[in-house]
Chain A
Amino acid sequence: MAMLSVKNLGISFGGLRAVDSFSITIEKGELYGLIGPNGAGKTTTFNLLTGVYKPDTGKMFLDGVDITGKNTIEINKAGIARTFQNIRLFKNMSVLDNVKIGLHNNYSYSTAAGILRLPSFFKSERQMNERAHDILSVFNLDQDANLLSANLPYGKQRKLEIARALATNPKLLLLDEPAAGMNPSETEELMETITLIRKKYDVTILLIEHDMKLVSGICEKIYVLNFGTELANGLPQDVLNNPEVIKAYLGE
């Protein structure tokens, strides 16, 4: 069964059909790229998949479960986590605490146990710290754990967003332009990290990216959006050589 199966998803803002008939099937473990010119509707698609916007047409299934119309919290609990194009870290919290927010629903002790410092508090916190450090070390952020997240350099902030999303233990990870603003060597490193987390955390990935080197380098399939509709969808070599795609990117 497909990890994500979406049929005819669509949404309008006023008169603008931002996304129309978005259909995609992502198999478990796949790394799918979502590309398209500026304003094509890529981020809006992510917002639909994560329940930020309610679709006005279409259906979506995660691992066979209908998640159409569910809210953001329910969809995260169902197993979809995401990062944001415009970074949205918890700025006044430490790097470690940002990841521990991701772990929030995977560990549980009551508020009272936290205030009274009961044994369950210490046990869960110890496990959470271990797991959080574990995830941070994958991204080479371990030594920055106690820094305020707002004080991280830009590239590390992007990585922390991915770490935090991974901490929720998702089946499907949505990355919105993870390499935006990174220099070539940082992008290179990010590609390696993405390859690593796929194996280590057994996660399926759908990523939006403008950096063609990254897309053609690691994506196994590519979906091209243009003006909210599908322009091409399939294997990288087919999609990237498609004259329609080249035209959309280079202009008429």
Chain B
Amino acid sequence: MKMKPAKQVSNSTRSNLITIGAIIIVYIICQIMIANGSISNLMKGLLIPLCYYSIMAVSLNLTVGILGELSLGHAGFMCIGAFASAFFSKVTVDTIPNVFIRFTLAILIGALAAALLGSLIGTVVLRLRGDYLAIVTLAFNEIIKNVMNVLYIGVDSEGVHFSIKDAASLNLEEGGQTIVNGPRGITGTPKDATFGIAILLLILTFIIIINLVNSRSGRAIMAIRDNRIAAESMGIDITKFKILAFTISASLAGVAGVLYSHNISTLIATQKNFGYNMSIMILVFVVLGGIGNLRGSIIAAVVLTLLPEYLRFMQDYRMIIYAIVLIVMMIFNWNPKCIAWRKNHSIKGYLAMLFNKQKKEA
């Protein structure tokens, strides 16, 4: 896969600040619209999903764009994060009444669970490359999703009970509670996720990856991407840094999962939310937003999530429009002529021109 060249260092710091600023401005506008009731219910319901899809896209970009490996299993890590954290929140909903503390812990648990699984899977699969890696990560994604559908977990005074048969074989004592109920998943997770926290987590995800990229470990990861043999000859431990990147990427997907599970009342692992459909959709965000371009990932995630919702009135035609938009975005982002055109007609360029004119006139 061809990588987009990185920009100059000083330049990119500024553009990252602009991205964070833009996210905050969008957040403030949304809050104002919520306050004066000018936001539609549809849009209101999409605010948190937009954040977790963006987190998914940005974190997958770490694997695909920065590490340069094709993963088709990103939704699997989201799934683990969602279930681990929902389990925790449901068990502790009475013992930890403070929402802030409980949700903070839930986020950490979701991230940690996904990180553990990510490092485990990474250790096994990162020997593979290219298409092989894509296929195996996709398989792991399906395994995770299917396991969540046959898993029963209950809690009673003796502790935690597991089963992969049915709820009855948990052998819970009187007053025990089935938390994860096989294909019926987890119900009654406290709805702790708010738009504010979701935005905060998106910004944090963005900063984590940006800071990683501009540090010693991030450089090692990119060196492996650019030239494996040269990186080895510089003494870079290929396996270590590949697993590191994959693990961080997985743990951030876990955070997206935490937002997901704390935004709905019933958590079930389906093909649509945690299957390869989701993984591929996230990959589409990454590819269309520009591989290695974090800001592009967010824009693509937002546009491509809103679009089908707002095209609902067109019924069956909406998928055609969606497909056309995908193609147009791809051309816009990747066609060399379009890239040149954008360079010549960028807002920054116009501003600079305007500024220079004023200077001359002054």
Q: Are A and B associated in one complex? A: yes
Residues of chain A whose beta carbon lies under 8 Å from any beta carbon of chain B: 50, 52, 71-73, 76-77, 81-82, 84, 88-94, 96-97, 100-102, 104-105, 107-109, 111, 114-117, 121, 124-125, 128, 146-148, 150, 164-165, 168
Cβ-defined contact, A101 with B223, below 8 A: yes
Q: Which of the 9-residue segments B6-14, B23-31, B43-51, B77-85 touches chain A?
A: B6-14
Within 8 A of A (CB), among B1-38: 3-6, 8-10
- The interface residues of chain A lying within 8 Å CB-to-CB of B225 are 92
A22 to B290, CA, bound (A): 49
Cβ-defined contact, A111 with B215, below 8 A: yes
Residues of chain B whose beta carbon lies under 8 Å from any beta carbon of chain A: 3-6, 8-10, 208, 211-212, 214-220, 222-223, 225-227, 229-238, 244, 292
Q: Shortest beta-carbon distance, B331 to chain A, in Å? A: 22
A-B pairs with beta carbons under 8 Å apart, 12 shown: A52-B229, A73-B238, A84-B230, A88-B227, A92-B4, A96-B9, A109-B215, A114-B218, A146-B8, A146-B9, A148-B5, A165-B234
A38 to B223, CA, bound (A): 30
- The interface residues of chain A lying within 8 Å CB-to-CB of B231 are 90, 101
State whether A50 and B233 are in contact (beta carbons under 8 Å apart), knowing that A93-B219, A94-B8, A104-B219 are contacts in the complex: yes
State whether A101 and B6 are in contact (beta carbons under 8 Å apart), knowing that A93-B219, A111-B244, A117-B211 are contacts in the complex: no
A103 to B233, CA, bound (A): 12
Q: Shortest beta-carbon distance, B150 to chain A, in Å? A: 36
A105 to B216, CA, bound (A): 10
Q: Which residue of B lies closest to A82 (CB)?
A: B233
Cβ-defined contact, A90 with B226, below 8 A: yes
Besides A73-B235, A109-B216, A115-B215, 8 other A-B contacts (C-beta < 8 A): A71-B232, A91-B227, A100-B216, A109-B215, A117-B211, A121-B215, A125-B215, A148-B6
A73 to B223, CA, bound (A): 14
Q: How many A-B residue pairs have CB under 8 A?
A: 114
- The interface residues of chain B lying within 8 Å CB-to-CB of A128 are 216
Q: Shortest beta-carbon distance, B237 to chain A, in Å? A: 6
Cβ-defined contact, B212 with A92, below 8 A: no
- The interface residues of chain A lying within 8 Å CB-to-CB of B215 are 109, 111, 114-115, 121, 125
Interface centre among B5, B216, B220 (most CB of A within 10 A): B216
State whether A72 and B233 are in contact (beta carbons under 8 Å apart), knowing that A92-B3, A114-B215, A148-B5 are contacts in the complex: yes
Cβ-defined contact, A115 with B208, below 8 A: yes
Cβ-defined contact, A104 with B222, below 8 A: no
- Of A81, A114, A121, the residue contacting B233 (CB under 8 A) is A81
Cβ-defined contact, A101 with B233, below 8 A: no
State whether A92 and B208 are in contact (beta carbons under 8 Å apart), knowing that A100-B219, A101-B231, A104-B235 are contacts in the complex: no
Q: Which residue of A lies closest to B232 (CB)?
A: A72
Interface centre among A92, A117, A121, A128 (most CB of B within 10 A): A92
Interface centre among B235, B236, B292 (most CB of A within 10 A): B235
Cβ-defined contact, A146 with B227, below 8 A: no
- The interface residues of chain A lying within 8 Å CB-to-CB of B234 are 76, 81, 101-102, 104, 164-165, 168
Cβ-defined contact, B216 with A114, below 8 A: yes
A148 to B237, CA, bound (A): 24
- The interface residues of chain B lying within 8 Å CB-to-CB of A104 are 216, 219-220, 234-236
Cβ-defined contact, A111 with B217, below 8 A: yes
A150 to B142, CA, bound (A): 40
Cβ-defined contact, A94 with B6, below 8 A: yes
Q: Which residue of B lies closest to A147 (CB)?
A: B8
Cβ-defined contact, A107 with B226, below 8 A: no
Q: Which 3 residue pairs across A and B have the least CB separation, nearest first? A: A114-B215, A76-B235, A90-B226
Q: Which residue of A lies closest to B236 (CB)?
A: A104
A97 to B293, CA, bound (A): 18
Q: Which residue of B lies closest to A110 (CB)?
A: B217
Cβ-defined contact, B211 with A115, below 8 A: yes
Interface centre among B9, B219, B233, B292 (most CB of A within 10 A): B233
Cβ-defined contact, A93 with B222, below 8 A: yes
- The interface residues of chain A lying within 8 Å CB-to-CB of B6 are 92-94, 148
A72 to B238, CA, bound (A): 11
Cβ-defined contact, B9 with A92, below 8 A: no
A107 to B215, CA, bound (A): 12
Cβ-defined contact, A77 with B217, below 8 A: no
Q: Which residue of A lies closest to B221 (CB)?
A: A111
- The interface residues of chain A lying within 8 Å CB-to-CB of B208 are 115
Cβ-defined contact, B237 with A92, below 8 A: no
A84 to B230, CA, bound (A): 8
A150 to B231, CA, bound (A): 16
Cβ-defined contact, B227 with A90, below 8 A: yes
Cβ-defined contact, A111 with B212, below 8 A: yes
- The interface residues of chain B lying within 8 Å CB-to-CB of A88 are 227, 229-230
- The interface residues of chain B lying within 8 Å CB-to-CB of A125 are 215-216
- The interface residues of chain A lying within 8 Å CB-to-CB of B226 are 89-93
Q: Shortest beta-carbon distance, B225 to chain A, in Å? A: 8
Cβ-defined contact, A94 with B9, below 8 A: yes
- The interface residues of chain B lying within 8 Å CB-to-CB of A121 are 215
Q: Shortest beta-carbon distance, A127 to chain B, in Å? A: 12
- The interface residues of chain B lying within 8 Å CB-to-CB of A117 are 211
- Of A77, A105, A114, A148, the residue contacting B211 (CB under 8 A) is A114
Q: Which residue of B lies closest to A80 (CB)?
A: B233
State whether A114 and B5 are in contact (beta carbons under 8 Å apart), knowing that A72-B232, A105-B235 are contacts in the complex: no
A117 to B231, CA, bound (A): 24
- Of B10, B212, B214, B219, the residue contacting A101 (CB under 8 A) is B219
Q: Shortest beta-carbon distance, B215 to chain A, in Å? A: 3
